[in-house]
């Protein structure tokens, strides 16, 4: 690994936070009035230093020796035991939560970027924190005061960790088929029985206890998704003031190609009929309540994908700047010295594509975080509603774009390293392995495409999509005013109009009961939609950069701004045109894979 | 792994060999007159059985415990020691070589498919054989009688193995910078000194000896590529009738993410000034001679990529047919049983895309092998020249398409498996890791794009490209006569005309000395060209299938043919249209990554 790898560009974070998304303006909202640029910078600076000096040096060792089963439980990497208390001390668990539950009440806009450094440095290590935060937040929102006092406070303080326990062996993505049962008792808890798989952090030897936020069916519940309830199922329960075993068995660890520092395990509840779970919120509302954590987890996975692409991009960039090989086309004199490979056009193409993916998706990630802040704390209900709809629509894009294009970006980082790239003497191959999980866990890309097309863009009778059109319109006018090539903005507006037409056409198929036809090209739809959204984010960044360039910036800032404009041109000219073909596929209802009889394969 | 995984579809092999490419016709050429469909089938049948029953069960163990350094040399996996003599016994080393050197003189058209099964079963195991074959063939073509007697015969018989030793630490792809030196002596050999890296099979404890076909500069040679010579450098040399150490040191093994059964090592020649090498062919002609082995290796890597995508596709297909999960859109009744995931449109999309990539590239691989047979043995010099030009043009496509789209295909196989896909309890993640090497070793994708655009398509003043146009024209007319949708053929002809225009435009830039501009989008050019070529192969397969369907075939055959037609439609309607955008990029000279100053990243 390169000692010069910054993981994430500080200057780009500053650009996004203060120049593009005006994080300081958030401090005018009552929820964030105690914050200022100074507190933001302080938290960021601490996170950077910790990520670079403490977390990053542990990554390779944790990848090479994964957490594993031993004596009926999981042993994490010894380094993880040193890291965990430090991660807790950094305040990651309750960073965005209100003061009254012990949090720092930091805007998501800032917290997302703070977390990004840790994710880029060692994604598995920080995900113990992220999962605990999400699980505790579920109890905070839906749990009883008793649960909050007993569990949530210990989770926010890092004394215990938390997980989400949804998936079962027979029904990976099909939550309607959850079979774990919950039998009521007269004592205020339920007896749980069932099997869960792919539970990240489902066991560890880091903390005294773990609270699983688990889906189960109360006896007699209606079939399907409307009969699923949410329970807090601790590994150890408090009984007579002591922690005693709660019949939660660790049944085995999966051997994963990536994210190897945090175990993914199979859990059995109630093998000895002694597993107690406490209902969180209302009976049969488990899925809709769990969506709070699922949405947070989706954005988190999206940011993990961006972080993983970012660290690899910076590694490739450093390699390309320092590795001499070959000579420019047209001046092949072998007696001249070789040039750094960044001088070769195709290496620059691969780097520019990585930059476009990393910084384009990061901009969207911060945009989404800002919507999250406004959805919770904007001044008026209208503003909150508007931000909520936009956040909902961006969530599948952040998650899936980072996973799919991030994987392409990580593969390019391997390619830039040549033969060294596929060896574990260098890190890009490990990050490529990490990235591959992100298109599957927290919902596959197909599921997110159906979420986007079937729910999000049609929300509010198409109002959500119109809101996005408005946002894009504002950016296009700003770009024109800043003096950017008008062709860039008009290409995006044309593409967005096309998205609107395609969406109308597909929605009317759905309204006519032709749901299968509507959804047939949902993955192409997601690809098209994401391409337009990322193009919008690039136009926004380029518009800001062009405005700043007009103000005679310092030389290093000018380089950043020039790079932003050039990358925006690259993406909009070379990637956005794919939208036409994707729209055509969505509209034509091209049906080869529908007609393809299973026997024809 | 699935016990039902066929690795490669037998019926598809039969279709390609006898129905599409008429391998029996090759038996009318004098070189192959001793062969018949019976001998072809016999060899194929033996290879299948061996691949499924012997090779495939060893794959996972060899991936998990890679060949490694121990006591100054490489220890291969114990299973490899059992496999190697059996692989030799299968006749793989000299399968296509003439009887007079101990070969079976089998057409490449057949041998390629024979080899495919072994590659799909355990790619590393068979690559010891492939590398030895290529190295021995170099000595057969260019070596002295003494070298043939001493080395080649022992390599073809499997007593010794061979490698290609090109790459040096400071100059991965830049062969012009080879620094290894060769000092003449009065004894008929040279003294070699230098360092090589990434030498596949560069050491092993399988055979008594290894012959490295190495590039080096004879003292006083001209600088650059025209001063590089080819040497046979054995690990042990024959001296007074005994094998003695030849000062070839194994300096270390790379830890690779894939191809883990065959080591890739660093070699030092002449650390003790006692390394002897024997010149192969003429001085300073090393690069052009080595191209024989490089071209064979490129096709081999292409076939390895196809094989790796094939075995994963069949694993995903089997999984999708047997794994129940979820219910069809529009009939979500949770009291109904779950359906096999192949019933979901998006899973079928992912399988169809894999099929299109695997069987499209395999068809091209057989097409290229047929060109190789005709280039060597067709009746007239004109036919041989024609086949040679087409083979040359197809080589970078076979190599790179399989590597790039094969990687996408392997990622889809992981995706079809959901969470299980990223665990090593299942095999798709291992094949994904294997596939990633293929876009780098034996030349990166960018190098092949420059080879295609800068040399191959412009060969013979554009005559090579016109030959391809003729081939495509024949197929389009055949498809129309068979009654296929005429839109398919005309789309390909239109795309091919576009390729011709783009090529003319770029070639004229090159002729005008604007080489950098010509080559700027060479990777996009390769993508465009490959997409057209694979579309042609799909049209060819669909045309044959349609002809056969008219003849009232058996039910299983009819399913194969229907699948071919449907997949051809899928590829030509959903993938071929990308050509327009790629052509536009090539023609426009879009220059974002040329303008992108290294400081702007």
B82-95 pLDDT, tens digit per residue, is: 999 999 998 889 99
Cβ-based contacts under 8 A for chains A and B? 271
Mutation to test the B interface, candidates A327, A593, A594, A599, most B Cβ within 10 Å: A593
User: Quick check: B576 and B492 in contact, CB under 8 A?
Assistant: yes
Chain B interface includes A28 (CB < 8 A): no
Say yes or no for a CB contact (<8 Å) between B600 and A441: no
Q: What angle do CA A364, A365, A368 make, to 5 degrees?
A: 85
> Do A590 and B574 lie within an 8 Å CB cutoff?
yes
The whole-angstrom separation of Cα A441 and Cα A254 is 13
Q: What are the φ and ψ backbone dihedral angles of A326, each rounded to 5 degrees?
A: 75, 180
The answer to whether A152 touches A158, Cβ cutoff 8 Å, is no
> Chain B closest CA to A570's CA: distance in Å?
5
Cα gap A227→A176, rounded to integer Å? 8
- CA-nearest of A520, A563, A228, A529 to A404 is A529
Helix ranges (DSSP H) in B378-485: 381-416, 428-436, 445-451, 463-482
pLDDT at B1: 59
Exposed e or buried b per residue across A20-34, where buried means at least 16 C-beta atoms within 10 angstroms of its C-beta: bbebeebbebeebee
- C-alpha A28/C-alpha A181 separation (Å) is 48
Q: Evaluate whether B202 touches B441 at the Cβ level (below 8 Å).
A: no
**Count of alpha carbons within 13 angstroms of residue B490, beta-carbon side:** 3
For residue B347, give Cα distances in angstroms to A95, A447, B212, B265, B404: 39, 11, 46, 40, 21
Q: Which helix (H) or strand (E) holds B197?
A: strand B190-200
**Structure token digits, residue B124:** 């590393």
Alpha carbons B534 and B520: distance in angstroms, whole number = 23
Distance CA A434, CA A304 (A): 9
Q: Is the pTM of this model over 0.95?
A: yes
Residues of chain A with pLDDT under 70: 1
DSSP per residue, B42-66: HHHHHHHHHIIIIIGGGHHHHHHS-
**Chain A partners of B255 at a C-beta cutoff of 8 Å?**
423-425
Tokens 């998205």 locate to A499
Q: Provide the pLDDT for residue B404.
A: 98
Q: b/e map of B128-147 (b: 16 or more CB within 10 Å)?
A: bbbbbbbbbbbbbebbeeeb
Q: What is the pLDDT of residue A92?
A: 84
Contact call for residues A133 and A106 (beta carbons, < 8 A): no
When CB atoms are compared, the residue of A173, A574, A577 closest to B325 is A173
Residues of B in contact with A598 (CB under 8 A): 321, 342-343, 348
pLDDT value of position A328: 84
Give the pLDDT confidence of A312-346 residue by residue, as tens digits.
999 999 999 999 988 888 777 888 888 999 999 99
CB contacts of A421 in chain B (<8 Å) are 440
CA distance A153 to chain B (A): 32
Pairing of strands B161-165, B210-218: parallel
B581–chain A Cβ distance below 8 A for any pair: yes
> Nearest Cβ partner of A418 from B173, B422, B424?
B173
Q: Residue A127's CB: how many other CB atoms inside 10 A?
A: 21
Kindly name the residue from A168, A442, A471, A493 that is annotated as catalytic: A442
CB-CB under 8 Å, B436 with A429: yes
Contact B564, B541 (CB under 8 A): yes
- Residue B38: Cβ-neighbour burial (10 angstroms; 0-12, 13-18, 19+): exposed
Stretches where chain B sits below pLDDT 70 are 1
pLDDT digits 0-9 by tens, A276-293:
999 999 999 999 999 999
Q: What is the pLDDT of residue A314?
A: 98
Of B112, B102, B62, the residue nearest B82 (C-alpha): B62
Contacts of A515 in chain B (CB under 8 A): 329-330
Interface of A with B in 377-436 (CB under 8 A): 407, 411, 414-415, 418-419, 421-425, 429, 432-433, 436
What three-state secondary structure class fits B265? strand
Q: How far apart are CA A181 and CA B370, in angstroms?
A: 62
Spatial contact of A315 and A1, defined as CB atoms under 8 Å apart? yes
User: Helix, strand or coil for residue B258?
Assistant: coil
Q: Where are the domains of chain A?
A: 451-601
A residues 160..189 contacting B (CB < 8 A): 167, 170-174, 176-177
SS3 B75: strand
Token pair for residue A514? 């032709």
Q: What is the ipTM of this complex?
A: 0.97
**DSSP H helix total and E strand total for chain B:** 21, 12
Q: Cβ of B339 under 8 Å from any chain A Cβ?
A: no
The answer to whether B275 and B233 are in contact (CB under 8 A) is yes
| DSSP codes, A69-117 | EETTEEEPPHHHHHHHHHHHHTT-TTTTS-GGGT-----HHHHHHHHHH
User: Which of B398, B410, B315 is closest to B354 using CA atoms?
Assistant: B410
Considering only CB atoms, A421 lies closest to which of B225, B440, B563, namely B440
A239 phi, psi to nearest 5 deg: -140, 120
The first and second tokens of residue B540, run together, are 């060819």
Query: What residue in A sits closest to B408 (Cα-Cα)?
Result: A408
CA proximity to B437, closest of B266, B197, B213, B200: B200
Judged by a CB distance cut-off of 8 A, whether residue A339 touches chain B is no
Write out B101-170 in H/E/C secondary structure.
Answer: HCCCCCCHHHHHHHHHHHHHHCHHHHHHHHHHHHHHHHHHHHCCHHHHHHHHHHHHCCCCEEEEECCECC
Query: CB-based contacts of B484: which residues, under 8 Å, 6+ apart?
Result: B539, B542, B543, B546, B565, B568
| Chain A residues touching B174 at Cβ < 8 A | 325-327, 338
Distance of CA B559 to the CA centre of its chain: 29
For residue A17, the 8-state DSSP code is: I
Tokens representing residue A439 in the block:
């298109």
pLDDT tens string B162-177: 999 999 998 777 788 8
Residue B590 to residue A601, Cβ atoms within 8 A: no
Per-window interface: B 72-131 vs A, CB < 8 A: none
C-beta neighbour count of A551 within 10 angstroms: 8
Find the CB nearest A198 among B342, B419, B559.
B419
Distance CA B199, CA B442 (A): 11
Q: What is the DSSP letter of A338?
A: P
| Of residues A568, A502, A478, A429, the one with CA closest to residue A59 | A429
Residue (of A265, A245, A259) closest to A203 by Cα position: A265
Residue in A326, A342, A569 nearest the CB of B173: A326
**Could you give the CA distance from residue B518 to residue A361 in angstroms, rounded to a whole number?**
32
Q: In 3D, which of A295, A122, A80, A331 has the Cα closest to residue A207?
A: A80
DSSP character at residue A204: -
3 state DSSP class of A163: strand
Judge whether A70 counts as a catalytic residue: no
Q: What is the DSSP string of B515-552?
A: HHHHHTTHHHHHHHHHHHHHHHHHHHHHHHHHHHHTT-
The pLDDT of residue A333: 82
HEC states along A237-270?
EEECCEEEECCEEEEEECCECCCCCCCEEEEEEC
In B229-258, the residues whose Cβ lies within 8 Å of chain A are 254-258
Q: How far apart are CA A236 and CA B434, in angstroms?
A: 43
Phi, psi of B162 (to 5 degrees): -135, 160
pLDDT of residue B92: 84
Q: Mind telling me the catalytic residues of B? A: 442
3-state secondary structure of A457: coil
Structural tokens at position B121: 């079963």
| Residues in chain B closer than 8 A to A444 (CB atoms) | 415, 418
CA nearest A446: which of B339, B567, B344, B407? B344
* Among chain A residues, CA nearest to B518: A329
Residues contacting residue B336 through CB under 8 Å, at least 6 positions apart: B327
C-alpha span between B465 and A82 (Å, rounded)? 63
């Amino acid at each position: 690994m390169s000692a010069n790898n910054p993981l994430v560009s500080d200057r780009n974070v500053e650009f996004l936070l203060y120049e593009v998304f005006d994080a300081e303006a958030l401090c005018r909202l009552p929820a964030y009035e105690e914050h200022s640029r100074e507190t933001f910078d302080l938290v960021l600076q601490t996170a950077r230093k910790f990520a670079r000096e403490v977390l990053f040096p542990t990554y390779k060792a944790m990848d090479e020796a994964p957490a594993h089963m031993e004596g009926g439980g999981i042993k994490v990497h010894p380094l993880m035991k040193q890291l965990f208390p430090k991660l807790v001390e950094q305040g990651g668990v309750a960073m965005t939560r209100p003061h009254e539950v012990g949090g720092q009440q930091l805007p998501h806009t800032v917290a997302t970027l703070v977390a990004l450094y840790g994710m880029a440095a060692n994604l598995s290590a920080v995900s113990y924190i992220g999962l605990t935060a999400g699980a505790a937040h579920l109890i905070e929102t839906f749990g009883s005061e008793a649960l909050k006092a007993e569990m949530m406070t210990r989770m926010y303080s890092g004394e215990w960790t938390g997980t989400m326990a949804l998936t079962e062996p027979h029904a990976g993505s099909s939550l309607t088929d959850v079979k774990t049962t919950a039998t009521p008792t007269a004592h205020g808890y339920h007896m749980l029985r069932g099997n869960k798989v792919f539970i990240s952090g489902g066991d560890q030897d880091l903390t005294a206890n773990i609270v699983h936020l688990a889906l189960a069916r109360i006896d007699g519940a209606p079939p399907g998704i409307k009969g699923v309830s949410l329970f807090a199922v601790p590994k150890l329960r408090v009984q007579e003031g002591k922690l005693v075993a709660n019949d939660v068995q660790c049944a085995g660890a999966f051997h994963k190609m990536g994210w190897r520092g945090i175990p993914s395990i199979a859990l059995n509840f109630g093998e000895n009929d002694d597993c107690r779970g406490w209902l969180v919120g209302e009976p049969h509302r488990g899925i809709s309540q769990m969506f709070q954590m699922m949405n947070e987890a989706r954005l988190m996975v999206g940011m993990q994908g961006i972080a993983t692409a970012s660290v690899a991009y910076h590694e490739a960039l450093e390699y390309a700047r320092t590795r001499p090989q070959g000579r420019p086309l047209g001046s092949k004199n072998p007696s001249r010295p070789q040039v750094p490979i960044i001088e070769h056009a195709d290496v620059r193409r691969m780097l520019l594509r990585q930059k476009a993916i990393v910084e384009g998706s990061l901009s969207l990630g911060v945009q989404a975080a800002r919507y999250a802040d406004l959805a919770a704390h904007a001044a008026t209900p209208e503003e909150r509603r508007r931000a909520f709809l936009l956040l909902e629509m961006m969530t599948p894009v952040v998650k899936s774009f980072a996973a799919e294009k991030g994987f392409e970006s990580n593969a390019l980082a391997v390619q830039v390293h040549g033969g060294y790239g596929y060896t574990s003497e260098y890190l890009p191959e490990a990050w490529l392995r990490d990235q591959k999980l992100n298109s599957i866990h927290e919902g596959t890309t197909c599921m997110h495409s159906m979420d986007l097309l079937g729910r999000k863009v049609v929300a509010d009778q198409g109002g959500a999509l119109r809101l996005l059109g408005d946002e894009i319109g504002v950016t296009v006018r700003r770009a024109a005013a800043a003096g950017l090539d008008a062709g860039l903005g008009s290409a995006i507006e044309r593409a967005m109009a096309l998205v609107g037409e395609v969406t109308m056409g597909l929605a009317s198929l759905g309204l006519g009961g032709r749901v299968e036809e509507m959804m047939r090209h949902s993955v192409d739809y997601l690809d098209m939609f994401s391409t337009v959204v990322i193009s919008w984010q690039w136009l926004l960044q380029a518009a800001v950069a062009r405005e700043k360039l007009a103000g005679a910036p310092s030389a290093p800032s000018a380089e950043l701004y020039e790079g932003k404009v050039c990358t925006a041109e690259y993406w909009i000219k070379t990637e956005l045109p794919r939208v036409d073909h994707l729209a055509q596929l969505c509209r034509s209802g091209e049906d080869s894979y529908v007609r393809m009889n299973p026997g024809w394969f």
